[in-house]
Amino acid sequence: MTRFIGIIGYPLKHTLSPAFQQAALDHYKLDIRYWAWETEPASLHTVVSRLRWPENIGANVTVPHKESVTALVDEVDSMAATVGAVNTIVKRGGRLVGYNTDVRGFIRSLREDAFFDPRDRRVVVLGAGGAARAVCFGLLGEGVASIAIANRTPRRATELVDALAHRRSGLSAGTEVTMVVWGSDEMANQLKHCHLIVNCTTLGMAHGSGEGESPLSAEDIPRNALVYDLVYNPAETPLLQAARKVGARRLGGLAMLVYQGAASFELWIGRPAPVDVMMLAARKALAKLG
């Protein structure tokens, strides 16, 4: 019997996951198909309950469902509960279990692709949506010295600071977490003294409303910082172009995307993810998207 995995999100026109997950499944010659299950919010409940059908193994979950899906699974693992978001569902003994592999994907890319050790480093996070939550919890777990969160809508940044304060038990108690007003002198000051800048906004994303825009100009970026843009399409985002101008180190979002997918693959299949195969397929699919 052919079995199925899919990605649940809306819209899904530009998703790379089917390309690189299918490449990984084909690498092991498994009779499993990975589909894009485009799902409007009103249909989320129905689509998640279909995962209980015998032929379905599980799913990835993406925007805008990562938070609302936590209420629809039978169990949520500790990392997903801490972050408050599920990006992977695995059916185990008929029960749907929710996981969050974004955190692992982010930290792995930081260490393996940027050779960056986050411990005791000062970080500025731009954005306060789902991706920023995963990034901030990951950084807390790594014992960074400080996280300054700047978001266009200040209320969401404050909410994220509060969430980090409430759920940080067992993570790093020594990390200073603050909200800074977008565009303020304090934001400029935090940027000036930071070691890592992570863009978790949608600015710069191809086909989005912020296409072609950068959250920072070159003058805002310290030369010695690592600039990490979670946006992976285009590969060279406007923020990374600005970072290049000042000679700062740069990392785009493709590695995190592939690593979070690799962690999901291992949860569904129980075999080591062929990361090189997945990375190559993701790069090819990205080049096709344009």
Which positions lie near ligand NAP, rule CB under 6 A? 63, 102, 105, 127-132, 151-153, 156, 200-203, 205, 210, 230-232, 253, 256-257, 260
Q: How far is the CB of 131 from ligand NAP (least distance, A)?
A: 3
Q: Which is nearer to ligand NAP, 129 or 138 (CB)?
A: 129
Q: Is the distance from CB of 84 to CB of 31 less than 8 angstroms?
A: no
Q: Which is nearer to ligand NAP, 132 or 269 (CB)?
A: 132
CA 99, 32, 26, 268: dihedral to nearest 10 degrees? 20
Q: Where are the beta strands (DSSP E) in the chain?
A: 3-9, 32-38, 56-61, 75-76, 88-92, 95-99, 122-126, 146-151, 176-181, 196-199, 226-229, 249-251
Instruction: Label residue 185 exposed, middle or buried (CB < 10 Å: 0-12, 13-18, 19+).
Output: exposed
Q: How far is the CB of 31 from ligand NAP (least distance, A)?
A: 28
Q: Which of 31, 54, 39 is nearest to 7 (CA)?
A: 39
Give backbone dihedrals phi and psi of 138, rounded to 5 degrees, phi first.
-60, -45
Q: How far is the CB of 233 from ligand NAP (least distance, A)?
A: 8
CA torsion sign for 146, 256, 155, 70 is: negative
Give backbone dihedrals phi and psi of 119, rounded to 5 degrees, phi first.
-55, 130
Q: Which is nearer to ligand NAP, 30 or 218 (CB)?
A: 218
Q: How far is the CB of 47 from ligand NAP (least distance, A)?
A: 19
Q: Which is nearer to ligand NAP, 59 or 205 (CB)?
A: 205
Query: Among the options 13, 66, 284, 288, which is catalytic?
Result: 66
Q: Which is nearer to ligand NAP, 70 or 91 (CB)?
A: 70
Q: Which of 205, 190, 218 is nearest to 252 (CA)?
A: 205
Q: Which is nearer to ligand NAP, 6 or 130 (CB)?
A: 130
Strand partners, 76: 98
Residue 245 annotated as catalytic: no
Position closest to ligand NAP via CB: 129
Amino acid at position 194, single letter: C
Q: How far is the CB of 230 from ligand NAP (least distance, A)?
A: 4
Residues 6+ away with beta carbon under 8 Å from 50: 56
Q: How far is the CB of 202 from ligand NAP (least distance, A)?
A: 4
Q: Which are the catalytic amino acids?
A: 66
